[in-house]
Amino acid sequence: MICKTFDELTKQELYELLRARHEVFIIEQDCNYLDLDRIDYTAYHMYDVDESGSICCYARIYEDEVESHIGRVLTPSSHRRKGYGIKLMHEAIAQCKSIYGTKDIVISAQEYLLAFYGGLGFVVEGERYFEDNLPHFKMRIQF
């Protein structure tokens, strides 16, 4: 698993990561939203590639004053159901602990993925809300 800051990413790496985010979140999920929210500048970008060099999973981790976050979690459709997502999330949780210490980890989970994230130790917090017209729940791992 590769984990780099924004400044450590090459132009090609950044392009491929943003392309994967665009393919999954904007085209596949049919969401017209501004993906480039400036959090990328301070986030760590975690991803893995397959033997051909294609992105097979991605997430970014970052913190605010109170908690750490894992977001923009994706596995391109061509790489799903091969274990990349679970590997990515285990590594992202470990990186959050390593980099941000004992801050809780918070995610914004699409409703259909609640069981997946629950299996990783995340607990639903609050009511369902809509983000980019898709049902989400805030989930947290407390430390």
User: Residue 19: which CATH number?
Assistant: 3.40.630.30
Range of the domain at 35: 2-100
**Residue 80 covered by a domain:** yes
**Residue 118 covered by a domain:** no
**Residue 6 covered by a domain:** yes
Q: What residues does 109 pair with on adjacent strands? A: 137
**Residue 125 covered by a domain:** no
The pLDDT, as a whole number, for residue 133 is 87
**Residue 33 covered by a domain:** yes
**Residue 14 covered by a domain:** yes
The pLDDT, as a whole number, for residue 32 is 85
pLDDT digit string, tens, across residues 42-92: 999 999 999 999 999 999 999 999 999 999 999 999 999 999 999 999 999
For the segment 28-40, the average pLDDT, to the nearest whole number, is 90
**Residue 138 covered by a domain:** no
**Residue 112 covered by a domain:** no
Tell me the torsion sign for CA atoms 88, 94, 100, 106: positive
124 in Cβ contact with 106 (< 8 Å): no
Instruction: Give how many domains the chain has, as a whole number.
Output: 1
The pLDDT, as a whole number, for residue 33 is 85
- pTM passes above 0.85: yes
